[in-house]
């Protein structure tokens, strides 16, 4: 979008949009703050390396973390990192311009993973798995070089739910994306501060903030069809059964291993007559299930109502 178009669009923001944008900002801030606190994602003295891809999620993550840093009760530093994978048409100046404008510490890492992936993977095959592995290794190495103590990724609540269903449908596993995890070698801690944020909120926020989005299809890879199918399934449910997504996300935070079937999580063989095992729900097999939704009803209606044209233009570049 040209600068003049941007300015015109900004000027068109109504008072109501501005008011609702503030509400949306507060909600994202609150959600990120809650996730950080619930999982102790950031601690005093941390240096958080924010991985910035140029997509809506990572821009939002950086923006909200920078904002939270201003009023956080602890001190932590932020360094933004972008991996320039040398995809054809990658606009090299977009992120440096943006980051210089913010005046924060950043590093652009240039590694031709695109070339490696194209060389190793036959034409027409999915490239994302190798590409992600290479990217992960480079980001871990960069975190060590920069002295970062946490690596922040921009995955959000909907990514986590999609991953849950992908693993169930195609991998036979009850497994999502953790809000916090440690790398295999134990040297890096990865955090996902957007874990409680809805993709819809992030999308609206990115439109409103006019982040200079870099298209994510520069590598020419086909979108992951399985993920797309799951995404559409969740979006359909969201339209048909409002609240279901929130309830499912609550389920991720409310797991009862004794009522699943994984003997490595719960020792079913230990169950004996006449014994009370602390920490399990006990026998509710004959009780009526309490199906009161567990999720907090967020102030959904307070999102900025952007025009269709604004959202469509955003989706075209994202």
Contact 44, 76 (CB under 8 A): yes
Q: What is the phi/psi pair of residue 150, to 5°? A: -140, 145
- Provide the minimum distance between the beta carbon of 317 and ligand SF4 in the complex, in angstroms, as a whole number: 16
**Interatomic CA distance for residues 116 and 110, integer angstroms:** 13
Q: Which of 95, 206, 208, 219 binds ligand SF4 (CB under 6 A)?
A: 219
Q: Which stretch binds ligand SF4 (CB under 6 A): 8-16, 18-26, 35-43, 124-132?
A: 124-132
CA distance 72 to 201: 22
Q: How far is the CB of 54 from ligand SF4 (least distance, A)?
A: 11
Helix (H, G, I), strand (E, B) or coil at 49: strand
- Return the biggest CA–CA distance within the chain: 76
Residue 216 assigned ligand-binding role = no
Closest to ligand SF4 by CB, 210 or 221 = 221
Least distance from C-beta 191 to ligand SF4, angstroms? 20
Integer-rounded Cα radius of gyration of the chain: 22
DSSP 189: E
* Dist CA 289 CA 24 (whole Å): 35
Which of 10, 12, 132, 256 is in the footprint of ligand SF4 by CB under 6 A?
Answer: 132
Least CB distance to ligand SF4 at residue 222 (A) = 9
Please check if 128 is assigned to a binding site.
yes
Judged by CB under 6 A, does residue 127 bind ligand SF4?
yes
Among 38-46, 123-131, 200-208, 274-282, the segment contacting ligand SF4 (CB under 6 A): 123-131
* Min separation Cβ 79 and ligand SF4, Å: 22
Q: Is 51 annotated as a binding residue?
A: no
Does the protein bind ligand SF4 through residue 79 (CB under 6 A)? no
Between 221 and 247, name the residue whose CB sits nearer to ligand SF4. 221
Phi, psi of 187 (to 5 degrees): -90, -25
Distance CA 38, CA 46 (A): 17
- 121: which 2 tokens? 């993977």
Q: Verify binding: residue 83, ligand SF4, rule CB under 6 A.
A: no
131 binds ligand SF4, rule: CB under 6 A: yes
Q: Does 128 bind ligand SF4 (CB under 6 A)?
A: yes
CB 159 within 8 A of CB 177: yes
Q: Which two tokens stand for residue 95?
A: 């992120």
Return d(Cα 142, Cα 84) in angstroms, integer.
Answer: 13
We find the least distance from the C-beta atom of residue 219 to ligand SF4, in angstroms, to be 3
Q: Tell me the binding residues for [4Fe-4S] cluster.
A: 128, 131, 219
Q: Enumerate binding residues for ligand SF4 (CB under 6 A).
A: 127-128, 131-132, 219, 221
Q: Tell me the binding residues.
A: 128, 131, 219
């Amino acid at each position: 979008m040209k600068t003049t178009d941007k300015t015109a669009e900004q000027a068109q923001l109504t008072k109501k949009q501005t008011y609702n944008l503030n509400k949306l900002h507060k909600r994202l801030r609150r959600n990120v703050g809650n996730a950080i606190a619930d999982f102790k994602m950031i601690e005093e003295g941390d240096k958080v390396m924010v991985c910035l891809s140029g997509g809506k999620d990572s821009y939002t993550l950086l923006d909200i973390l920078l904002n939270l840093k201003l009023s956080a009760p602890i001190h932590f530093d932020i360094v933004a990192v972008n991996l320039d994978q040398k995809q054809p048409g990658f606009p090299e100046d977009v992120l440096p311009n943006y980051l210089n404008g913010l005046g924060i510490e950043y590093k652009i890492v240039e590694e031709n993973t695109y070339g490696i992936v194209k060389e190793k993977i036959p034409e027409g095959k999915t490239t994302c798995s190798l590409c992600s592995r290479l990217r992960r290794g480079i980001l871990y190495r960069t975190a060590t070089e920069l002295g970062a103590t946490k690596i922040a990724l921009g995955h959000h609540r909907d990514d986590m739910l999609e991953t849950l269903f992908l693993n169930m449908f195609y991998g036979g596993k009850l497994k999502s994306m953790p809000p916090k995890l440690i790398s295999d070698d134990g040297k890096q801690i990865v955090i996902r501060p957007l874990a409680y944020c809805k993709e819809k909120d992030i999308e609206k926020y990115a439109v409103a903030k006019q982040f200079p989005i870099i298209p994510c299809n520069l590598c020419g890879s086909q979108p992951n069809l399985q993920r797309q199918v799951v995404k559409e399934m969740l979006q359909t449910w969201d339209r048909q059964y409002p609240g279901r997504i929130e309830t499912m996300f609550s389920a991720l935070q409310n797991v009862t291993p004794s009522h699943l079937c994984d003997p490595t999580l719960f020792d079913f063989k230990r169950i004996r007559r006449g014994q009370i095992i602390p920490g399990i729900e006990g026998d509710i097999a004959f009780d009526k299930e309490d199906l009161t939704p567990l999720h907090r009803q967020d102030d959904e209606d307070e999102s900025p109502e952007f025009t269709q044209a604004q959202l469509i233009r955003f989706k075209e570049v994202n």
